[in-house]
Structure 1
Amino acid sequence: MDKTNLIEGAKKVLNSNFNEEKGFTIPCEGLYPFQWHWDSGFIAIGYAHYDIEKAKREVESLLSGQWENGFIPHIIFHNESDTYFPGPDYHRSDLHPSSPKTIKTTGITQPPVLGFVLKEIYDIARDKQDVLEFIRRNIDKIFKNHEHFYKYRDPHDEGLVYIYHNWESGTDNSPIWDEIWKTMDPPKYKYERKDTTHVDASQRPTNREYDCYLHLLEIAKAHNYDDAKIADLSPFLVQDPLFNAILTKSNEALIELYHILGGNEDKVEVLKSWQNKAKDSFEAKLFNEELGSYVYYDLRNQKQIAFTTSSSFTPLFAGIPNTGRANKLAHRLLKNFGSEDLFLCASFDPKSEQFNPKKYWRGPVWINLNWLIYKGLKRYKYYELAERLKQETINYIEKHGFYEYFDARKDQFENAAYGGKNFSWSAALTLDLLNEK
């Protein structure tokens, strides 16, 4: 398939998944029927290349679900659907006094991509003044979202925020969480899984894992989604390098955009203080010298979770490591994730016993993580490695279409595509890679 056909195919996927009435795009039909937070951010980047109005609508539709306290949920339930569990009636966002009165949402969040998404849209757009007006209308809402994280999710004032649910990480069933699940004894909840009616159950989280996921939500709901109470009680309290790298990058983007807009010096100074603390804490707390990569920190048990995942390389995207540590990351990426029998970049260390090449975030390649790592490698001038990652990413799409995730093993390339079909962020970020200047 040539470049033109890939671009047209990506546009077709996005347009078919777009809800014209509500102004948002579903990740894919059936499996994910609502608006997801970080999906919409990546999707807006794709739209910016050919339909700037849709890009703007995507962002504003997501922001329509923002809570009064600045919180932006991980799902906005604009529409009705019975193909997904747990839905709005389970999440009960109305339990929190700051939640919207006219729209249902979840009470958990996802990686805060909107800051850097605004900057990407600005960089892509031809009519800069039009986009700057759009940014002017919305940038303070995103600043308020960041402010919420540092106020309620950074108990030690160290510039690193925690997540209290694995779904907040975006990497739902990563082996990273396995040790935490072992410490939990959740009830066996009665519910009907909807995801396994769309995708082979062997590629999805187990029922026992789902019981843990629901138990964390039950703790949050029992305390009306109060962050302080959840922080006291939840067995899951983790500082995630992906989540924090994205927040740090979005801080950087907001600083740049406020400078372009002019004024807002007070907000810029606050953003810079968050940045400085975050970068220092990343280096002091999240880097593992033995692994040569950034890792997760279990805040509940005060220890690193010493595994390397694709998320471990995303601090490159945010400009966090110094040159020495960037070199260690590149070395680790090639040694464990990019050997002669592997395409870049598996979502979990392929040399680990817990690596599963077909199961969601336990091993497969994801287009959005590849995009983040690609941008990070370019930032640190690893151009050859970045180009390899880009081409291998496009090769998956060219061969199989816009699937949700892919097998990293080269000998499985013929049957490498898994998960949802016609997946929106796979299409959107392919567009961005193909249209790169």
Structure 2
Amino acid sequence: MTDAAALAGRHLDLVSAPFTLPRSRVLVFREGDGLRVHTSEYERRLSECRVLDGLTVLDAAGHALPVADVLPGRVTFGPSTSSGTQGGWESVSSRSARSTTEATLTFADPTTLSIGGSPDVTVRLELPDGSMQQHPLGDGIRIRIDADRSVTVGPGDHDAALAATDRIWSDWFAKCPVVRDDLQEMAAFCWWVLGANIVELPSLGDSRAIVPSKIGYVGLWQWDAYFIAVGVRHGDPGLAREQLDIAFRFPQPDGQLPDVVHELGVLATSDDLPESDRATLRRAGSQIADPSAPVPLTKPPLAAWALRKVLEVEDAPDWAREQLARVIRSQDWWFAGSDLDHDGMPEYGHPYSSGLDDSPIFDGPLPTAAPDLGAYLVRQDREIADLLDRYEPDADVSRFRERAARTQELLWTMWDAERGRFLAHGGGEPQFSDTIVGLMPLLTGTLPEPIVEALRAAVDDPERFGLEWGLPTVAASDPDFSDERMWRGPVWVNTNSLVAEGLEASGYPERARELREQTVALVIHGGGPHEYFNPRTGQKACTATTAFGWSAALFIDLAVELS
């Protein structure tokens, strides 16, 4: 295995980071002295996807062999050498001190686990129905996991399985970007996260989707695909293009891009929401849990931004022209299909379309006109014009530049000079919460100087957004602030990254670099690319998902830029 794989292995604790394989739906976690096994399925909790409640490796005396070591391609069982460990796991330097290997677990293929080692070892399996099986290891066994989550155990060539799995991970880590020394270990782990989160969606043939997480987020969310592509481009630009291709492949007849592409189809309107989401909305008292008419569900318009960034690394003119046509139709949809009060400024018709579902800007009535959406629309029309200049030089781009100018004028009307911030408006009513969406107009790079200075001051204000671990999604001084509740205070890597880009676009490159440094330091301090972080402690927020795709991808993007 490569050095990057060994660095990533330091973070594979089988708790926050399960043992898995690119393209596999099998997840292996630590459980007591052994392991437990689940499948990864769309809109199903791990508790609903139990395969084995226990997988324990026993020595000749019947004693459980603990997990001694984890690398991307194998889990090793045997006497643990506790000295030199990190968090209970053996360090790279101490691996060579182990004299024998009692047993190892790896993948024989994406649906099959392989175990081999000392012939006197026994493997005990505890099934979800409470029954037990014991299998002598012999020359090695394979555990195939069928579509109904049942298991079939038989003999197998364990050495061949180890070699094949090691090859898969070696090929993946050979693409890991080389970054600054102090960032390389976390970059390697983040690169593992992206590889581990690759799944196949049967309806898409051989397409590889990098999902936000195999734990709870099994699908390609449009916004996640953009951020993930921006990170993956540094090591595998073809795979980055593949993420955008999937995100753009299924527009609605009017050009709207769906929120999610998943194994059962797409999620493009509120009629497509799974019942679990509707129940969550009802519990929150939402008035749109069961709307009388379907509400379009999409994600904010960063498509051209992501497309441009991916093409910066490796040009693909024919592909770019094909995707650009879809992006233009999507941008036109925002103005034709989501300007719900017909004032020229599109709105979010549903919180899900914002990507910031739980933000207090949606505590008021819908639809919601928000400064982040206005900024993205301005930026996207300009990006489209620039991409057309590059790939369709005979195209007339005046309508995109003119629409960007009109949208920008409307965006400026959201500025509340008395409060010194941009305000969202729900159902025409101002929403006074001081949230991170009010900083996104920096992305336009063309705000009046007094507004830019006020937003820079907000970024630096320790009472508002200038906290030790980055920008909270709601200002610390705001009554709606919560250091743990999603989108109401925790720090997110993507919003930090966007504001940093906005600071640079608005004339503050050094402050942008400081925020980028602060963001990579947060991920390292917090122990990995979590979904979101407590802004006071810099640790994973309690309900945040671990090994989260866009956090991993954007860490890599930031690390490359800072290096």
TM-score by length of 1: 0.76
Unaligned runs of 5+ in 1: 93-104, 181-234
Partner letter of residue 301 of structure 2? P
For residues 90-105 of structure 1, the aligned pairs below 5 Å read none
For residues 68-217 of structure 1, the aligned pairs below 5 Å read 68-79=253-264, 107-123=296-312, 125=313, 127-128=314-315, 131-155=316-340, 158-178=343-363, 180=364
| Change beyond 3 A, Cα 1:275–1:172 | same
Determine the C-alpha separation between the residues in 2 that align with 1:160 and 1:154: 6
Alignment partner, residue 310 of structure 1: 436
Matched, 1:328 2:508: no
Partner letter of residue 144 of structure 1? R
Matched, 1:403 2:551: no
Query: Shift of the alpha carbon at 1:408?
Result: 1.2
Query: Shift of the alpha carbon at 1:365?
Result: 0.4
Determine the C-alpha separation between the residues in 2 that align with 1:73 and 1:344: 31
Cα deviation 1:297-321 (Å, max 9, x = unaligned): 22x2x23212221111111112241
Answer 1 or 2: which has greater helix percent: 1
Matched, 1:61 2:189: no
Alignment partner, residue 215 of structure 1: none
Counting matched residue pairs gives 356
Query: Shift of the alpha carbon at 1:23?
Result: 2.3
Cα deviation 1:341-373 (Å, max 9, x = unaligned): 543200001101221001111100010000100
Which of 260, 268, 273 is equivalent to 2:402?
273
RMSD: 2.5
Determine the C-alpha separation between the residues in 2 that align with 1:144 and 1:87: 22
Query: Shift of the alpha carbon at 1:156?
Result: 5.9
Query: Shift of the alpha carbon at 1:30?
Result: 2.2
For 2:471, what is the secondary structure of its paired residue? coil
For 2:444, what is the secondary structure of its paired residue? coil
Alignment partner, residue 9 of structure 1: 189
Q: Contact 1:337–1:344 (CA<8 Å) still a contact in 2?
A: no
Alignment partner, residue 386 of structure 1: 512
Determine the C-alpha separation between the residues in 1 that align with 2:422 and 2:214: 35
Partner letter of residue 406 of structure 1? F
Greater RCO, 1 or 2 (C-alpha within 8 Å, sep 6+): 1
Q: Contact 2:208–2:242 (CA<8 Å) still a contact in 1?
A: yes
Unaligned runs of 5+ in 2: 1-180, 201-205, 279-293
Q: Sequence identity, in percent?
A: 23
Alignment partner, residue 221 of structure 2: 36
Matched, 1:287 2:476: no
Q: Contact 2:296–2:349 (CA<8 Å) still a contact in 1?
A: no
Cα deviation 1:390-410 (Å, max 9, x = unaligned): 11110121122010001111x
Determine the C-alpha separation between the residues in 2 that align with 1:364 and 1:37: 22
For 2:487, what is the secondary structure of its paired residue? helix
Query: Shift of the alpha carbon at 1:22?
Result: 3.3
Q: Which structure would you say has the larger Rg?
A: 2
Matched, 1:247 2:372: no
Q: Contact 1:48–1:121 (CA<8 Å) still a contact in 2?
A: yes
Structure 1 stretches of 4+ with a deviation exceeding 6 A read: none
TM-score by length of 2: 0.60
Cα deviation 1:101-126 (Å, max 9, x = unaligned): xxxx9941111111111111122x1x
| Change beyond 3 A, Cα 1:415–1:431 | closer
Partner letter of residue 246 of structure 1? Y
Alignment partner, residue 337 of structure 1: 464
Determine the C-alpha separation between the residues in 1 that align with 2:322 and 2:304: 13
Q: Contact 2:250–2:258 (CA<8 Å) still a contact in 1?
A: yes
